[in-house]
Amino acid sequence: MGNKIKANAIAITGGASGIGLATAHSLLGRGYEPWLLDLKRETLDNACDELGLARDRGIVCDVSDEVSVEQAIRTVSANMGLAGIVNSAGIAFDRPAVETSVEDFKRILDVNLTGSFIVSRAAARLWMERGEAGSIVNISSVSGLCGNKGRTAYGASKGGINLMTLVMANELGPIGVRVNAVAPGPIDTPLARVVHTEDVRRQWNERVPLGRYGTTDEIARAVTFLLSDDASYVNGQILAVDGGFINAGLSA
Ligand code: NAD
């Protein structure tokens, strides 16, 4: 790698909102150059303004569209070199299996799982081509680690992300690319507000040992750690950031 300038740009899918946006804030604080990839020009502009970034650091990109992703990753890497990617783009869905249509099931997998695959593959190919190292952090979910009701489609997409994380960590480790996942518990974001009814919120607050929702910043700090050289020997891990939910046993 010799005299090459150290790559500094991080592409964050779903970067205009929630966990992705909080991660951009956290990365800025650590001297990285976040680039936001999301669906709408207007929300990207608002996010860039909030972060104090030029608006061209927000790129309209649908993660389920290969062409759109290839272009976005090339644009990000053209300037400061690509140091990492965060796959935070996602959509929520909460419905019993017997009431889930095949169309809805496929739509959830298409964005959450296939989208993360398309973005990760584009970055991996680029790093391979250039002989560069990199770091990938996938945002999965505790719903990809246990059988939360209503999560047949969403949980399958997140469980798939967890397994894809392990395989890609194994395949890409030899070229210096680390692949890890953060599995958040309940976090109060626009996505959660769509599916978390009063009853669901009560259950989370009762079942999470820390007794509360997490904040986007608490997830962002874990993502930043995994992306950075602080985690230089961490590869193929799924880090639950969930107030203790996934490992809790009986509470009464
Ligand atoms: P959010 O709705 O605030 O952010 C998600 C972003 O993804 C939005 O800006 C949306 O426009 C974008 N997006 C959706 N489809 C896209 C596509 N096809 N291409 C590009 N961008 C797209 O939600 P959030 O809670 O910050 O979610 C971020 C990630 O965290 C998701 O993958 C979600 O599944 C995961 N997660 C969230 C929670 C929670 O409780 N909020 C818990 C576990 C996991």
| Structural domains in the chain plus CATH codes | 9-244 (3.40.50.720)
pLDDT at 194 (0 to 100): 86
Could you list the active site residues?
154
- Residue 66, classified by CB atoms within 10 Å of its CB into exposed (0-12), middle (13-18) or buried (19+), is middle
Best residue among 38, 50, 143 to mutate for probing ligand 1, ranked by most atoms within 8 Å of CB: 38
Q: What is the pLDDT of residue 3?
A: 47
Say what the pLDDT of residue 252 is. 79
Query: 67 burial class (0-12, 13-18, 19+ CB within 10 angstroms)?
Result: exposed
Which residue is closest in CA terms to ligand 1's atom 34? 90
- Please report, as a single letter, which amino acid is at residue 72: A
| C-alpha 18 – ligand 1 centre gap (Å) | 7
What are the backbone angles phi and psi of residue 86, rounded to the nearest 5°?
-125, 120
pLDDT for the residue 251: 86
Residues in the chain where the model's pLDDT stays below 50 = 1-3
pLDDT of the residue at 1: 41
- Model pTM above 0.85: yes
> Is residue 17 a contact partner of residue 58, using CB atoms and an 8 Å limit?
no
Question: Which of ligand 1's atoms lies nearest the C-alpha of 216?
Answer: 26
One DSSP character per residue, 2-26 reads TTPPPP-EEEEETTTSHHHHHHHHH
pLDDT of residue 169: 99
pLDDT of residue 2: 41
pLDDT for residue 6:
77
